[in-house]
Chains A and B, each alone.
Chain A
Amino acid sequence: GAGVSQSPSNKVTEKGKDVELRCDPISGHTALYWYRQSLGQGLEFLIYFQGNSAPDKSGLPSDRFSAERTGGSVSTLTIQRTQQEDSAVYLCASSSEGGRETQYFGPGTRLLVL
């Protein structure tokens, strides 16, 4: 079946602009995660959605970052007033449930803030 998809694949924006990144998880997966990977670095957790529970936002680096998940499926990560340090690859992952189930990653969105 189809894997996790993300759009756009690349995004170039100017400092101060807002951006929206989209994630389509694997059908039927109830858990969805956003991670950020800076150049040559590991993956940094941002936010986690599990079913209808309140999201775990503990990894969001500032209040400029927010995310929502509509209808328990598609998720959008929004970065307001982008800064150059926001430049990174933003990866989405989904799993059949939270915790010890395998997380499958999307191809990522490469964000460049000029």
Chain B
Amino acid sequence: GENVEQHPSTLSVQEGDSAVIKCTYSDSASNYFPWYKQELGKRPQLIIDIRSNVGEKKDQRIAVTLNKTAKHFSLHITETQPEDSAVYFCAASMQAGRRALTFGSGTRLQVQP
């Protein structure tokens, strides 16, 4: 089955700096890659997603890149703010076959003011 690895497990940056979180996946059939943000005690919230027919997607300060050949995708947050502090999860799923999301283990991002 699918396996998603996520790095780093923790990340501390200064306010205004950029943050990058990387994930790799094992199943080449995966074609949907969402990123979720989870604040302490709250539910995961989708922040951005990318599908396999696209190499990059951007939404304001957040961007995601996908390299299907290498089977890895990354989340980029620019001009970080204290409210970006949370745990971020990458995930992967397939349109056919097993459709549930396989999640990475999460990255705890701390933005220092």
Interface centre among B43, B44, B100 (most CB of A within 10 A): B100
Residue pair A59, B100 in contact (C-beta under 8 Å): yes
Give how many B residues have a beta carbon under 8 Å from the other chain's beta carbons.
28
Give B36's nearest chain A residue, CB to CB.
A105
Q: Once A and B bind, how many residue pairs between them come within 8 Å at the CB atom?
A: 62
A100 engages B31 (CB within 8 Å):
yes
Q: A50-B99, A56-B99 are in contact. Are A41 and B94 (CB under 8 A)?
A: no
Pair A43/B99 contact, Cβ less than 8 Å: no
Q: How near does chain B come to A104, taking the closest CB pair, in angstroms?
A: 8
Task: Report which residue of B31, B44, B102 has the largest number of chain A beta carbons within 10 angstroms of its beta carbon.
Answer: B44
For chain B, residues 69 to 113, give those with C-beta under 8 angstroms from any C-beta of chain A.
Answer: 89, 91, 93-96, 98-106
Query: What is the CA–CA distance of A99 and B99 in the complex, to the nearest angstrom?
Result: 5
Q: Is the CB of A45 within 8 A of B43?
A: no
Interface contact A91-B32, CB-CB below 8 Å: no
Given known contacts A50-B99, A58-B98, A100 and B44 CB-to-CB distance under 8 angstroms: no
Q: Indicate if the CB atoms of B43 and A99 lie closer than 8 Å.
A: no
A75 to B: closest C-beta gap in Å? 14
Question: Are B46's CB and A102's CB within 8 A?
Answer: yes
| Number of residues on chain A facing chain B (CB within 8 A) | 24
A66 at interface by CB-CB < 8 Å? no
Give A89 Cβ to nearest chain B Cβ, in Å. 9
Q: Which residues of A contact B44 (CB under 8 A)?
A: 43, 91, 105
Q: A residues 90-106 with Cβ under 8 Å of B?
A: 91, 98-100, 102-106
B: which residues have CB within 8 A of A? 1, 6, 31-32, 34, 36, 42-46, 49, 51, 89, 91, 93-96, 98-106
Residue ranges of A at the interface with B (Cβ–Cβ < 8 Å) = 31, 33, 35, 41-45, 48, 50, 56, 58-59, 91, 98-100, 102-108
